[in-house]
A = this chain, B = another copy of it.
Amino acid sequence: MNIGDAAQLSGLPAKTIRYYEDIGLIEPLRSANGYRSFRETDLHKLTFLGRARSLGFTIDDCRTLLTLYRDRARASADVKHVAQDHLACIDRKIVELTEMRRTLSHLVEACAGDDRPDCPILADLAAVVPGQSCARQSN
């Protein structure tokens, strides 16, 4: 199976698949003509990766999960641990975004949104908040 089919079936762009090979997540065979040749197991891994990425796992998480997946003697506790860590991370992000949303929606509501030059949004953004040293984001 060539990369095009693998892309179609896994739902990942060909570019991404090549990248995943580059960083050692998959190791497809090569045909005589130099084309990548994907086996069932490769496709399986790609689908796994696509799903894990769409759930927000980092590439590094994926590497760990793939190793655990291949390891028949793994403990499910290990996997659960990775997943729980990620869940906690998601929760933090949700809290952060909700906080952001609340602040911003207050500002939007307070803004008349007409032609007058006064704007509470800008006024607030410009206000020097005294103790905001930990307001920075991890992004």
**Chain A, range 76-135, C-beta contacts under 8 Å to B:** 76-77, 79-81, 83-84, 86-87, 90-91, 93-94, 97-98, 100-101, 103-105, 107-108, 111-119, 121-122, 124-129, 132-133, 135
State the Cβ distance, A59 to closest chain B Cβ, in Å: 11
Chain B residues whose CB sits within 8 angstroms of the CB of A107 once the complex forms:
83
Q: A55 near B103 (CB under 8 angstroms)?
A: yes
A84 and chain B: residue at smallest CB distance: B108
Chain B residues whose CB sits within 8 angstroms of the CB of A80 once the complex forms:
108, 111-113, 119, 121
The A contact surface, by secondary structure, is: helix
At the interface, yes or no: A3 with Cβ under 8 Å from chain B?
Answer: no
At the interface, yes or no: A44 with Cβ under 8 Å from chain B?
Answer: yes
Chain B residues whose CB sits within 8 angstroms of the CB of A122 once the complex forms:
65, 68-69, 76, 79
- A binding-site residues for B, Cβ under 8 Å: 11-12, 44, 47-48, 50-56, 65, 68-69, 72-77, 79-81, 83-84, 86-87, 90-91, 93-94, 97-98, 100-101, 103-105, 107-108, 111-119, 121-122, 124-129, 132-133, 135-137
